[in-house]
């Protein structure tokens, strides 16, 4: 079983959007795809992101049909905040996250693990999302936004991944400020990262390269 850790430069950048596209692309090449949302915050009745991921997996992987959204989450919290802050009772145990990861891994050929927020978001006081990605020993796909100011966020996240010697790729979710992206951001990416790619245009190519 293989896995891929999907993260972003921050919240509301497009992790779930990208993961859904990955589920579809991996399924099209014949792989049984699974999804894992270790922690979801801002949950009222049910984890919305986990539900979307599970429903997509259930369409292409029969081994996920008997699961509920909470089955692909280790923890859910009502407060929309970083896990450490949302976990007001200090319930998070890393062992439970890894146990759930291994349980779900048995149901698929590739498990897509979607983080919460960005790389430096704290899970506990001393353990961050980037630490989880490192410990899972999974390659990382960093999703970056297209809005003004994204260059700084992208470069900081790339530096963090490099500093921990994590195997990664990155892509741009062309969502916000799409009209101005070509003028205010793309020239730098074209000059420094000529092979940069977008979720909308190149996800299939990325999946084929990962085989």
Show which residues are catalytic. Answer: 37
115 known member of a binding site: yes
Q: In the chain, what is the straight-line distance between the N-terminal and C-terminal CA atoms, in Å?
A: 12
- Residue 57, Cα to own-chain centre: how many angstroms? 15
Q: Is residue 48 exposed (0-12), middle (13-18) or buried (19+ Cβ within 10 Å)?
A: middle
Per the listing, tokens 């699974």 go with 34
Nearest to 25 by CA among 55, 47, 49, 56: 56
12 known member of a binding site: yes
14 known member of a binding site: yes
49 known member of a binding site: yes
Q: How far apart are CA 174 and CA 171, in angstroms?
A: 9
102 known member of a binding site: no
Q: How far apart are CA 100 and CA 72, in angstroms?
A: 8
17 known member of a binding site: yes
41 known member of a binding site: yes
The torsion defined by the Cα of 9, 13, 19 and 24, in degrees rounded to 10, comes to -140
116 known member of a binding site: yes
Q: Which residues are annotated as a binding site?
A: 12-17, 41, 49, 114-117
Instruction: Show binding-site residues for ATP.
Output: 12-17, 49, 114-117
Residue ranges for the known binding site for Mg(2+) are 16, 49, 114
User: Residue positions in the annotated binding site for substrate?
Assistant: 41
């Amino acid at each position: 079983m293989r896995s891929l850790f999907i993260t972003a430069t921050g919240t509301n950048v497009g992790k779930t959007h990208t993961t859904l596209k990955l589920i579809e692309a991996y399924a099209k090449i014949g792989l049984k795809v699974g999804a894992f949302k270790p922690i979801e915050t801002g949950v009222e009745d049910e984890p919305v992101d986990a539900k979307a991921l599970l429903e997509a997996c259930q369409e292409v992987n029969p081994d996920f049909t008997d699961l509920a959204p909470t089955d692909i989450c280790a923890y859910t919290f009502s407060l929309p905040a970083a896990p450490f802050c949302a976990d007001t009772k200090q319930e998070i145990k890393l062992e439970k996250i890894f146990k759930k990861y291994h349980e779900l891994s048995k149901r698929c050929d590739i498990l897509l693990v979607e983080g919460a927020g960005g790389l430096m978001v704290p899970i506990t006081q001393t353990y961050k999302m980037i630490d989880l990605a490192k410990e899972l020993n999974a390659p990382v796909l960093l999703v970056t936004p297209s809005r003004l100011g994204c260059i700084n966020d992208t470069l900081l996240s790339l530096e963090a991944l490099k500093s921990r010697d994590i195997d990664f790729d990155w892509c741009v979710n062309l969502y916000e400020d799409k009209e101005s992206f070509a003028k205010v951001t793309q020239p730098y990416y074209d000059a420094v990262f000529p092979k940069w790619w977008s979720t909308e245009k190149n996800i299939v190519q990325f999946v084929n390269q990962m085989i």
